[in-house]
């Protein structure tokens, strides 16, 4: 098998994406995770750009990395300045990494109109910078910026820039689709031409402005590129970079290349979500391979087929990338979906009951309910349809009062009246808002009877307008996600009143927790 080396630039190119901002500690933590996965090269940043990146290179030397080699990134020397006097080259060497990546201009348009210099001087800038870093004992990767645009306009000069880096001692020359406008067939053709023109290994660095960065990367590898550059989750400037998660999965599981360490692909989902969390970004639910919807099945025809053979609607086993299969319940569901979601109730022989459940789901979705992210509410619905629902408490009344004093700061108070067994509990709680106050009052009423409710903690709270045409009188859907440390579940409530919708979802959450604990105790 051909070995493909993975070069991660999440900490440098990825941090240039809009809304992405890593702290020094974030960068060090991500470095450890990338190393644990077996990433070959980690580009830590541009040491001259800001104090944080400079500090990173000092702190990363204290980490005992098992596999990855850290690279400092910088530009060629400036025109008219020797490498020994150039501040960028000096910063690269001061980073004290065994590997440096130098980016230089390949496109004659950039040479003349951006650098405002001659084509000959640019070649000298590339060669001088690479040779000087090599003489200082560093291995050098050379990033040929805008290679594909440059080759399209002036192929002879573009190849001269690559040869200048090669002859000066660059160990790998990386072809960069910096504007992200090249398509896979051209990537493949140019990679073949460069392989014929150079002796050193070739790498590929693609941006995603045409939404084909992963395809472009695979096309280059198919024609002989042995190093791929990209970012975790494809984060980066403009439309982002090639998503290394998809690149790695495709290379290892579809093409059979030797990538990372054996079994590493099974940790891709974990790594993807870790980077999202660290960057304080929302998960991309439909992200290939690792998104929560990547192996989620909703249509009745799909779920029916999946129940018989998973290969019918899955291109690979989700466990190979650390993900899991999900069967979604919605108005599109058929009896096969209901059967798949209710296996613990053994409904296979009761088609009439399954039809009843499906009909109830469709009616509720027509009202604005959605059970895809609220499987706990769906489980309670099934119990009610089966006659297995015995409420742990009875809701009698609730009231929320919000008022502002002279300081104009709102104060929220919730009153809840419930019956538990033969006892009526009437409790009051203040909170930071209606949901917090209702949660506090309901806990006060129920905790004396059900102390394990203290394990519940809110994970997420989402509100969505269902019928926007009704404007401020529109119905809203509230989905609340909870965790008790052992599992995570979601519930849903719908109403024209956002407080009532929240109350309905809140009550479902408490009831589901009580039923769940009861089932586990029975086991």
Question: How high is the pLDDT of residue 352?
Answer: 75
Q: Could you read off the pLDDT of 476-503 as tens digits, one per residue?
A: 999 998 888 778 888 999 999 999 999 9
Question: How high is the pLDDT of residue 201?
Answer: 98
Distance CA 518, CA 174 (A): 59
Sign of CA dihedral 16, 8, 99, 150: negative
Decide: 434 and 410 in contact? Cβ < 8 Å.
no
DSSP character string of 338-387? HHHHTGGG--TT-HHHHHHHHHHHHHHHHHT---TT-HHHHHHHHHHHHT
Question: Which band of pLDDT confidence, cut at 50, 70 and 90, is reported for residue 353?
Answer: confident
Pick the closest to residue 147 from 132, 158, 133 (CA basis): 158
Question: How high is the pLDDT of residue 331?
Answer: 47
Q: Are strands 476-483 and 488-495 parallel, antiparallel or unpaired?
A: antiparallel
Query: How would you list the strands of the sheet with 488-495, edge to edge?
Result: 457-465, 476-483, 488-495
Decide: 218 and 252 in contact? Cβ < 8 Å.
no
Distance CA 378, CA 384 (A): 10
Give the CA count within 13 Å in the CB-facing half-sphere of 225: 28
- Going from the C-alpha of 167 to that of each of 107, 123, 195, 289, the distances in angstroms are 19, 11, 15, 40
Question: How high is the pLDDT of residue 327?
Answer: 67
pTM for the model: 0.73
- Give the DSSP H/E element, type plus range, for residue 89: helix 87-94
Pick the closest to residue 459 from 479, 433, 444 (CA basis): 479
Which range has highest mean pLDDT (98-102, 345-349, 387-391, 515-519)?
A: 98-102
Mean pLDDT lowest among 96-105, 313-322, 328-337, 378-387: 328-337
Question: How high is the pLDDT of residue 460?
Answer: 86
**What average pLDDT does the chain have?**
90
Question: How high is the pLDDT of residue 164?
Answer: 98
Question: How high is the pLDDT of residue 347?
Answer: 56
The first and second tokens of residue 214, run together, are: 């992963």
Q: Could you read off the pLDDT of 364-415 as tens digits, one per residue?
A: 877 888 776 788 888 888 888 878 888 889 999 999 999 887 777 888 999 9
CB atoms within 10 A of CB 467: 13
Please say if the pLDDT value at position 68 is more than 90: yes
Question: How high is the pLDDT of residue 329?
Answer: 62
Q: What is the mean pLDDT of residues 117-144?
A: 98
Q: Kindly calculate the radius of gyration of the chain based on its CA atoms and give it in whole angstroms.
A: 29
């Amino acid at each position: 098998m051909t070995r493909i080396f993975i070069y991660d630039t999440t900490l440098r190119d990825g941090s240039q994406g809009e809304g992405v901002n890593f702290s020094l500690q974030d960068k060090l933590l991500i470095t450890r995770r990338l190393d644990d996965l077996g990433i070959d090269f980690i580009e830590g940043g541009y040491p001259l750009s800001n104090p944080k990146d400079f500090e990173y290179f000092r702190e990363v030397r204290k980490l005992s990395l098992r596999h990855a080699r850290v690279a400092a990134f910088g530009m060629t020397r400036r025109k008219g300045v020797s490498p020994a006097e150039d501040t960028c080259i000096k910063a690269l060497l001061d980073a004290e990494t065994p590997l440096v990546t130098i980016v230089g201009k390949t496109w004659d348009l950039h040479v003349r109109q951006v650098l405002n210099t001659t084509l000959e001087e640019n070649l000298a800038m590339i060669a001088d910078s690479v040779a000087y870093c090599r003489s200082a004992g560093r291995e050098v990767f050379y990033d040929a910026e805008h290679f594909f645009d440059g080759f399209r306009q002036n192929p002879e000069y573009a190849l001269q820039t690559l040869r200048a880096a090669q002859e000066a001692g660059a160990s790998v020359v990386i072809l960069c689709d910096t504007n992200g406008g090249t398509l896979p067939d051209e990537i493949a053709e140019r990679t073949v031409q460069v392989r014929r023109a150079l002796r050193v290994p070739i790498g590929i660095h693609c941006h995603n402005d045409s939404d084909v960065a992963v395809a472009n990367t695979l096309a280059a590898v198919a024609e002989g590129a042995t190093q791929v550059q990209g970012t975790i989750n494809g984060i980066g400037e403009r439309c982002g970079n090639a998503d290394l998660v998809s690149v790695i999965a495709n290379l290892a599981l579809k093409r059979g290349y030797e990538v990372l360490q054996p079994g590493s692909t099974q940790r891709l989902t974990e790594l993807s979500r870790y980077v999202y969390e660290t960057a304080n970004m929302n998960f991309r639910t439909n992200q290939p391979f690792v998104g929560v919807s990547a192996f989620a099945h909703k249509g009745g025809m799909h779920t029916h087929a999946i129940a018989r053979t998973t290969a019918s609607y899955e291109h690979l086993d989700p466990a190979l990338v650390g993900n899991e299969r999900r069967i979604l319940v919605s108005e599109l569901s058929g009896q096969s979906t209901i059967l798949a979601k209710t296996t613990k109730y053994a409904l296979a022989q009761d088609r009439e009951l399954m039809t009843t459940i499906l009909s109830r789901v469709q009616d509720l979705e027509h009202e604005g309910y959605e059970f895809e992210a609220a499987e706990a509410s769906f489980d309670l619905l099934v119990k009610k349809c089966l006659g297995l629902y015995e409420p742990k408490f009875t809701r009698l009344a609730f009231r929320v009062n919000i008022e502002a004093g002279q300081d104009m700061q709102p104060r929220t108070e919730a009153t809840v009246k419930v019956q538990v067994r033969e006892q009526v509990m009437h409790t009051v709680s203040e909170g930071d808002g209606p949901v917090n106050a209702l949660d506090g009052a309901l806990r006060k009423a129920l905790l004396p009877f059900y102390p394990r409710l203290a394990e519940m903690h809110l994970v997420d709270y989402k509100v969505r307008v269902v019928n926007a045409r009704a404007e401020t009188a529109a119905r809203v859907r509230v989905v609340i996600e909870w965790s008790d440390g052992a599992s995570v579940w979601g519930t849903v409530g719908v109403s024209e009143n956002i407080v009532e919708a929240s109350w309905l979802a809140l009550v479902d959450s408490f009831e589901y927790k009580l039923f769940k604990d009861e089932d586990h105790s029975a086991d």
